[in-house]
Amino acid sequence: MKEPKTLQEAIIHFANPDNCLTYVAAHRWPNGVECPTCGRKDVSYLANQNKWQCKSAHAKRQFTAKVGTIFEDSPLGLEKWLPAVWLIATAKNGISSCEIARSLDVTQKTAWFMLHRIRKAMASGSLMKMGGNGGEVEADETFIGGKARNMHKNVHERRITGQGQSFCDKTVVMGLLERGGEIRTQVIPDRQKHTLQPIVRQHVEAGSALYTDEMGGYKGLDREYLHQIIDHAVQYVNGRIHTNGLENFWSLLKRGINGTYVSVEPFHLFRYLDEQVFRYNYRATKKHPRTDSDRFSAVLSQVAGRRLTYAELTGKVGETVN
Ligand SMILES: [Zn+2]
């Protein structure tokens, strides 16, 4: 099966609906086609309908490659969806719905919806603990500004970058980064001990080296981790004790939000985080020289089991999008 290497190759390759189906089927079912309802593998292919049929007599026994994926129920063809995935998975600082709308000749509302569905496929489902085997993990939080829409530019910038005095209308984001490995983030209600520490325990192997700033929420973790603290009032780096990996990620994140989006509402922030985290975790490194083609293929392998309806996305029931 062909793996397009560039945007141009992707557009040409996926202009053919058969190529789209082959690609999506191969990525969502890497071990062969499976019935999305019952899991049976001895399904038959109905060539003239581009569908498979399960041998068990249950509802929805005929299915397409789109069933149960982020593409399900979308009236848009895969020849629009796949180039959209390519654009989003490979954009360095993110891409706006206006840009997608222009590039693919769809409405902005449709592009916005596509962007959110694709972000859902970009979310990491990893349950492996970080650290362990001498791994080093940084933990840190940042503030992302809330009601930035109608604010004066200076105020807007100060709030978005977290340099302002008041944090009351901000969303707190916590990050964990394994040096040389992956990053995970989540939106949290506050920076209290009872919020931060269970997250550390859930994601980081006990006994790992853990680096944080002097924030009180991390106090006491030295009983379970090799916890070392950098006091930012004194210095930013002390040998291996620093949180610079996360600081760099936060500035990338904020540059992305400032440069690409007018504002990110707190309700949607976690999806934007998923998108940026995906890009970070699939970046090219010495150990893993990943390409745009690899990033695209990684999203496609996660499209199944992640449907997102318009009502879920907006809280509005009864509206549809096309
Ligand atoms: Zn079945």
Cα–Cα dist 121/125, whole Å? 10
pLDDT-derived band at 146 (thresholds 50, 70, 90) equals low
pLDDT-derived band at 224 (thresholds 50, 70, 90) equals very high
User: What secondary structure does DSSP assign to 134-198, as a single string?
Assistant: T-EEEEEEEEEESS-TTS-HHHHHHHHHT-SS--TTEEEEEEEEETTS-EEEEEES---HHHHHH
Q: Return mean pLDDT, the chain.
A: 86
Distance 46 CA to ligand 1 centre (A): 15
Read off the pLDDT of residues 239-254 as tens digits, 9 standing for 90 and up: 999 999 999 999 989 8
Q: Are 236 and 242 in contact (CB under 8 A)?
A: yes
pLDDT-derived band at 150 (thresholds 50, 70, 90) equals very low
What six digits make up the tokens of 269?
């922030």
Distance 37 CA to ligand 1 centre (A): 5
Residue 32, class by beta-carbon neighbours within 10 Å (0-12 exposed, 13-18 middle, 19+ buried)?
exposed
pLDDT at res. 118: 94
pLDDT-derived band at 260 (thresholds 50, 70, 90) equals confident
Distance 76 CA to ligand 1 centre (A): 26
Mean pLDDT across the stretch 60-83? 91
Distance 41 CA to ligand 1 centre (A): 8
- Three-state SS sequence of 83-124: HHHHHHHHCCCCCCHHHHHHHHCCCHHHHHHHHHHHHHHHCC
Mean pLDDT across the stretch 174-178? 96
Picking from 159-163, 189-193, 194-198, 213-217, which range would have the lowest pLDDT averaged per residue? 159-163
User: Assign residue 318 a region: left if phi > 0, alpha if psi is -120 to 50, beta otherwise?
Assistant: left
pLDDT at res. 148: 44
pLDDT-derived band at 119 (thresholds 50, 70, 90) equals very high
Q: What's the pTM? A: 0.82
Residues 6+ apart with CB under 8 A from 77: 17, 20
pLDDT at res. 164: 41
**Distances 303 to 13, 23, 271, 308 between C-alpha atoms, Å:** 19, 12, 15, 11
Q: What's the CA angle centered on 22, arms 20 and 25, to 5 degrees?
A: 105
Distance 39 CA to ligand 1 centre (A): 6
**Distances 156 to 147, 169, 171, 188, 250 between C-alpha atoms, Å:** 9, 12, 14, 22, 17
Distance 55 CA to ligand 1 centre (A): 7
Mean pLDDT across the stretch 69-84? 92
